Structure 1
């Protein structure tokens, strides 16, 4: 700046219209804005107004001005200075660009970046990411949300979120910045690239289809399967196995990197065919990681069969459950959908996959939903428009829940669980908050399921009634019965004593049901089956069959094994030495089948056994009490429990239930349809 400019700046307070002062063609406001970040950002977006926030995006042009010393031996030097500018382009036919996916980290924007002559504050994680990706080429046109969207403009932000599908689908490449080199990440990236290339070369991707998935499972489990893939697949497994064994801790550490736990990254990694992981100076195509994870799973399961020490087992089991597995399976489903050979994921499937028994984070709670809209194949049908203008996010959750139920996803009610998280306590009782680690429903519904196992509402379709209040869900259905008595909530971690207590309670409730004498079962023998059907929700899983309806004699026999083992263990201390010897033999002979039955009981964790006034038996939410009502809602596959409120025909939602004897539509046509106003 010249001396004249300095003098002019010193006397700005004497000038009323400072915007007219210029120095070498630059206004004094621009000079000051470079040193006042908030003002700078405002000026920047004023100079780069989008013709329409619904049709255009901004791109960041990066050029390396000069470089510092290399950050790692043998690595290219990181740029010390990056020259940046903004430009606009229509999303319909954009200028070629790449998109950056990264973890924001702290919201504190403690770093600065000069963009088009203005100083813009950015987070340290973005500052580091830009310096690494800028080394890849001399000039880089990049879309990065923190800069290309005016984060202070709620209306612009809402419109731009709706363009996420186009942004990440039309990018030439998505660069996924995972962080700097650490914890043997270079070795892991090299292994992913090597094994991924080999897996791709033998055509592994061709077996990730509905038609070939069963053959793939056979190949994984046996080297004798007559298939062209079998031998090359197992050769790769043999080669990779010792390398994987040495990098178990590195795999676990890599999985803990913050990027894998952000909700926004799911669509960012799934939409573009050309997506790469960038870690330090290493890069690897994401699809190579998909293939490598498959090889890894087979290899480490083989290692576990060889009886390794407990330390290895612990690491191996932890490494076998990485965040990358559901994340990259979602990517595969989306890519197949875009190629016209798959169904993709509805919003409900994505929410369940990411927030049920999974730790997915978002800075703003409503981003749990908005961050997935670009990936959901039903987003247009749901007609959801992101809205950041209101302080209370409850309206966003309520509107989305209503839209999904209207489109037939009544089962989302199973994920409205209590207590609601802080900040969302005023949600209606029927609306899920989609917080991390929600409990699963006992009914596992897969995206590809063609024949559902349960259908208590028969062929009915969801039927909503308009209401004058946003918080009210007016939905039609049927009353099964009022609860007459409940037992104690079952604790799946309570061991044999807890199992035995549940079994004994159900035996007593079954006797009460028989004493009522209502003809709700076709026979007395079918009524007696409730004692072994109820604890597992009439659903059963085995490695050989996947999920099936509970049936005789398999499930009944395993229930009796579990009952016998529980009784022996609970009464062990009162047995004599002579009694303990045959008892131990019985435990040994029944332990495996007993454990299998107990494993299937886990879906009912936290629920209470109950009997209704007419004698129906089942499991209900832990908060349910006598007088609450078991209902079947039109279009649902499970019963739910409601509580009538004092102010007339209003209801409170309590949760999902199992009700023996109604799970196949038995009461349809025998009850009068009615309207439930749930709030």
Structure 2
């Protein structure tokens, strides 16, 4: 498959040449498939003094040997050997006699071309065995582009890791790499074929990956993919969804219309898809319902996939995980959730789900997303968030036995009463985490 990225401009020819050259060098190091071993080795190099180089040989050992064991049905061992990771690192690091420094601004501009933001691109990339890019008169293979962008991403992570390890100052070049405003969508698109072969991606997983905008503090920038026809935000992903056959069975059984049908309105498509998702066991989809909505006639319980959705206090633990954490448990248990749908005389679709009455809303405050959009200071965000919650906690007198209990409740809400434990999984907030929140407040 050949992809036309558009006409050449003042910088595109230079970037295409650079990506071709860097991609070839990075491929030799296995950058497409060995990001973790390369990252580990580069972190070691980044924490060392500048190495003496003599006639292309590196004082600390030259080439590195990696053995990766992946067993298939035949028990065959796959070996990837003699990766010249040192040479590649020194060629892109300005702390050494580099000859391939990243043209950071030019690369950022190149990867912001509109083609990288389209929803149909994801399916095309996932299904095509080979892809070539054409920009002006220059060409670039998918493998080289993936390896080159992987090199940049890995080097940026190494810089940030070495800062934390050594508490050292960055060079001007390292600062430019670390703070580069790179669009994250090209990396997602370039890696989709490998990812869907490694893991199952349900339609819900793909929608979460292509429609949710993460907090600006996470350096994710704009993450969602776009479509001229908003119906394609769903239809453009069906071809690579691992649960498409399951969705078809649900549609046939319950007379839902999930398979492509452009005669239907966007509101009908989004509504019936939401119904299918909840029948499949994903009541967490309700957490993605946000206002205002751009699609008219959309029920309040149906997410508007046509606009970027923002996470509030939930998060995603894995790229292919279809649900958000913590899960939607308004009824106390996901297995106890009894979901029903019915229609009013005005042909409005209504969703009924069991829930628990916890309290009445006494007052409303500012959302966390509203706070983060006003400032780039993360500490200021937390302090303002605690201030808002603290004021809300004072709305009802007698709700707490003491002021200390009220403040503790504020801190629990601040952290959504959960944290990441030592195993990297979500867990109930610990005293240590709550103490950290109180220190920020103080």
TM-score normalised by the chain length of structure 1: 0.48
Offset, 1:507: 5.3
Match of 1:584 in 2: none
Measured at CA, do residues 513 and 326 of structure 1 come closer, stay the same or move farther in structure 2, by a change above 3 Å?
A: farther
Offset, 1:431: 1.1
Structure 1: which 5+ runs fail to align?
1-173, 337-341, 518-523, 565-679
- Does the 8 Å CA contact 1:186/1:282 hold for their aligned counterparts? yes
- Structure of higher CA gyration radius: 1
Residue 199 of structure 1 pairs with residue 77 of structure 2: no
Match of 1:158 in 2: none
Separation of aligned partners in 2, 1:466 and 1:487: 29
Separation of aligned partners in 2, 1:362 and 1:452: 24
Offset, 1:412: 1.9
Measured at CA, do residues 432 and 500 of structure 1 come closer, stay the same or move farther in structure 2, by a change above 3 Å?
A: closer
Measured at CA, do residues 443 and 233 of structure 1 come closer, stay the same or move farther in structure 2, by a change above 3 Å?
A: farther
Separation of aligned partners in 1, 2:267 and 2:320: 31
Residue 368 of structure 1 pairs with residue 233 of structure 2: yes
2:400 aligned counterpart, secondary structure: helix
Correspondences of 1:60-459 after superposition (within 5 Å): 174-207=1-34, 218-219=40-41, 221-223=43-45, 228-229=65-66, 232-241=84-93, 245-301=101-157, 306-309=169-172, 313=175, 316-334=178-196, 336=197, 342-357=198-213, 358-383=223-248, 384-390=258-264, 392-421=265-294, 424-445=295-316, 446-447=318-319, 454=326, 456=329, 457-458=332-333
2:184 aligned counterpart, secondary structure: coil
- Does the 8 Å CA contact 2:341/2:349 hold for their aligned counterparts? no
Q: Taking CA–CA contacts closer than 8 Å with sequence separation of 6 or more, which of the two structures ends up with the larger relative contact order? A: 2
Residue 554 of structure 1 pairs with residue 420 of structure 2: no
Separation of aligned partners in 2, 1:459 and 1:487: 27
Measured at CA, do residues 532 and 401 of structure 1 come closer, stay the same or move farther in structure 2, by a change above 3 Å?
A: same
CA deviations over 1:387-428 (Å, ceiling 9, x no partner): 2224x321111111211222122222222211111xx12101
- Does the 8 Å CA contact 1:264/1:372 hold for their aligned counterparts? yes
1:278 aligned counterpart, secondary structure: strand
Separation of aligned partners in 2, 1:441 and 1:288: 37
Measured at CA, do residues 419 and 453 of structure 1 come closer, stay the same or move farther in structure 2, by a change above 3 Å?
A: closer
Separation of aligned partners in 2, 1:363 and 1:434: 13
Offset, 1:303: 5.8
Offset, 1:468: 4.2
Measured at CA, do residues 196 and 510 of structure 1 come closer, stay the same or move farther in structure 2, by a change above 3 Å?
A: farther
Offset, 1:562: 0.8
Separation of aligned partners in 1, 2:34 and 2:101: 26
- Does the 8 Å CA contact 2:205/2:321 hold for their aligned counterparts? no
